[in-house]
Amino acid sequence: MNHFITINGKILDVSRPIVMGIINITPDSFFTNSSKNFVEATEKAICEGASIIDIGGYSTRPMADFVNSEEEELRVCKALESIRKHFPDIPISIDTFRASVAKKVVEEFGVGIINDVSGGDLDSDMFATVAQLNVPYILTHSKGNPQTMQSLTDYKSVTYDVLDFFINKLHQLRQMGVKDIIIDPGFGFAKTIPQNYELLNNLRIFETLNCPILGGISRKTMIFRPLGITPDLALNGTTVLNTLLLREGASILRVHDVKEAMEAIKLFDCFQGNFIAENQN
């Protein structure tokens, strides 16, 4: 499917899948990048092929510690000050559910995308703020907050309940004038492991919404728990599921490990007959 999003006045083609590299700046994230230096971690992600850098100051893993807005803002601004000095042009996404944080980083640091894990449910001002800022918005399905989400896993049908959620939220956003919307089914957010796999198996259904689909499964519970391992050993499983995400129509892979995700995309291109390499023997 042909999809384009406009970030800071530039058009980004996501018709061919791209990678969003996660830069963890929270002390309680379930998986921490090998480098604690924001600039070094960002440079590594860019060199390995990331098209977008995703930064968050509030871990959204289940049962994450509560962080007030002042602390979240302090964390992300500190990281952005360093990153923007060295990489002024790289598209940056801010992972936040707070409209005030989104507004500050867009206006002061040129952040180009708002990645809201709550789908607008945790801050009633978020949709209006995104519309005012005129930036792309990642609409994620979830329930509750990081402290309560894993107790909210009751669905009539997880696939069609998530689809209904997107239909209703997309209507609200478009009525408010938000043009570029990316949808994220929210793997791991208010979903059991079987529900996550059901969503992955039915991902093509969401193509009917005519929005780019973001898949964020990197090193999550749906990988490491069935394998009986820990997140730091879940890279191979992540690559397996990233490949399935690509086959089911994902446009953006949100990952901790950019190099491996880019390799998955390149080999998936070969699988589809789009073999581009210096040596084709």
The catalytic residue positions are 220, 254
Under 8 Å between Cβ of 252 and 212: yes
| Cα separation, 58 vs 65, whole angstroms | 8
Alpha helices (H) in the chain, listed in sequence order: 38-47, 69-86, 99-109, 126-133, 158-175, 193-201, 221-227, 235-247, 258-271
Please tell me what DSSP assigns to residue 15: S
| Cα separation, 24 vs 156, whole angstroms | 34
3-state secondary structure (DSSP) of residue 55:
strand
Under 8 Å between Cβ of 50 and 11: no
17: closest CA among 55, 53, 54, 51?
Answer: 51
| Cα separation, 185 vs 196, whole angstroms | 9
Please tell me what DSSP assigns to residue 37: -
3-state secondary structure (DSSP) of residue 74:
helix
- Angle between helices 69-86 and 99-109 in degrees, nearest 10: 20
- Tokens linked to 181: 């919307």
| Cα separation, 38 vs 233, whole angstroms | 23
